[in-house]
Amino acid sequence: MLRSATAIKSLAARKSATSLYSTTSSRGMKILAILYDGGKAAEQEPRLLGTTENKLGLSDWLKSMGHEYVVSSDKEGPDSVFQKEIADAEIVITTPFHPGYLTRDIMEKAKNLKLCVTAGVGSDHIDLNAAVENKIQVLEVTGSNVTSVAEHVVMSILLLVRNFTPAHEMIERGDWKVSDIARNAFDLEGKVIGTIGAGRIGYRVLQRLVPFDPKELLYFDYNPLPEKAAKEIKARRVEDLKEFVSQCDVVTVNTPLHEGTMGLVNEELLKHFKKGSWLVNTARGAICDKDAVAAALKNGPLNGYAGDVWNVQPAPKDHIWRTMKNPLGGGNGMVPHYSGTTLDAQARYANGVRSILENYFGDKPQEPVNIIVGKSGYETKAYGQRGSEKAKHGFSSS
């Protein structure tokens, strides 16, 4: 499905100013995709599939079946391509890296909408309760980028604990003062590391930390890990969140964003963190209170904060998380939202979106692990405790 660089260039040249590209047909259905603009990088690198230029590699395939495929990055406001084109779309594909926000209002205007597909993992940009009420299915490509994120979390933990970023910045400046860095550099060995959320990503993070010989691996999750999985990595469950954070040197957040996790790490909870601890959040920005985190980094107890997710994306130029520091001038490991969109991950979620569409077109059952909201409501246990018997546990090796 990878398009050649020449073909991509010619496609890009045919794009309109709004980055809208549409193949029309009276026979097929209308599919709208909201993706980010890749610009020159996407023209030069066809494996950047999640961009408006490369269209998840689906354009020719959908066109050959007579479907209309509208792709745009323009998503804000009532005059945006997103809000206009959704009026008669049957399927919407969006990516957490540049989400089209499917609010209740928008869903109620989208009379033809039957299926929302998340190209990646994390469907908090969709009002899931409204999707249930409007009988709109929500699917994501479960597992497609969980290893990508887990690797990023481990990297971020290491760079905070070892005080890496200020050390590198010192080298770029032409300076050399070992003690200025070493005074706040530690080993991961012997530390207590815990994840809030022990699903696919959280579990993989803990698994990857075992060889560092931590003092203990902890987790906080309303879904306990299967006994065998917990035993394999010697992970201990702590059922009270304040108690959990008070025991951890490093906390990593790996839950979906939903009513129960919005602002979960706030001023009150931060008071219970260990003095000098580190916090890594690659789950969703809004799980951590922006100002409370910045204050905790400046005045304690946090020694570092890292992640790739922000409460607003793209983050405004003056967002405090871009520049916040601990009193020693370090402790910031923030990057743009990319941990789950490595080229390897893009290939997996593009393929996954295609499989979901194939099942939909062929009226075949979807992979149960991919279903967030199915034909009769929530099918997952990961977006809050709703008590559905058939709902799947967040933890899975798949």
Binding site for ligand NAI (CB under 6 A): 120-122, 145-146, 149, 196-202, 220-223, 254-257, 260-261, 282-284, 308-309, 337, 339-340, 381-382, 394-395
Residue with CB nearest ligand NAI? 199
**Closest approach of ligand NAI to the CB of residue 255, in Å:** 4
Q: Give the full edge-to-edge strand order of the sheet including 216-220.
A: 235-237, 216-220, 192-196, 250-253, 277-281, 302-307, 332-334
318 is in an annotated binding site: no
236 is in an annotated binding site: no
Closest to 380 in 3D by CA, of 389, 392, 388: 392
Pairwise CA distance, residues 242 & 240, whole Å: 6
Told to judge if 237 belongs to the known catalytic residues of this protein, a careful annotator would answer no
Told to judge if 145 belongs to the known catalytic residues of this protein, a careful annotator would answer yes
Toward ligand NAI, which CB reaches closer, 166 or 256?
Answer: 256
358 is in an annotated binding site: no
Told to judge if 284 belongs to the known catalytic residues of this protein, a careful annotator would answer yes
Told to judge if 313 belongs to the known catalytic residues of this protein, a careful annotator would answer yes
Toward ligand NAI, which CB reaches closer, 28 or 340?
Answer: 340
Q: Which residues contact 278 (CB under 8 A, 6 or more apart)?
A: 157, 160, 161, 249, 250, 251, 302, 303, 304, 305, 306, 331
Q: Where does 13-136 show beta strands of DSSP type E?
A: 30-34, 68-72, 91-94, 115-118
Q: Give the full edge-to-edge strand order of the sheet including 115-118.
A: 68-72, 30-34, 91-94, 115-118, 137-140, 371-374, 377-378
257 is in an annotated binding site: yes
Toward ligand NAI, which CB reaches closer, 10 or 338?
Answer: 338
**Closest approach of ligand NAI to the CB of residue 380, in Å:** 7
Cβ contact 269:301 at 8 Å: no
Toward ligand NAI, which CB reaches closer, 29 or 93?
Answer: 93
200 is in an annotated binding site: yes
Can you tell me whether residue 305 is helix, strand or coil? strand
Q: Which residues are annotated as a binding site for NAD(+)?
A: 200-201, 221, 256-260, 282, 308, 337-340
Q: Which residues are annotated as a binding site?
A: 121, 145, 200-201, 221, 256-260, 282, 308, 337-340
Q: Which residues are annotated as a binding site for substrate?
A: 121, 145
Residues involved in catalysis: 145, 284, 313, 337
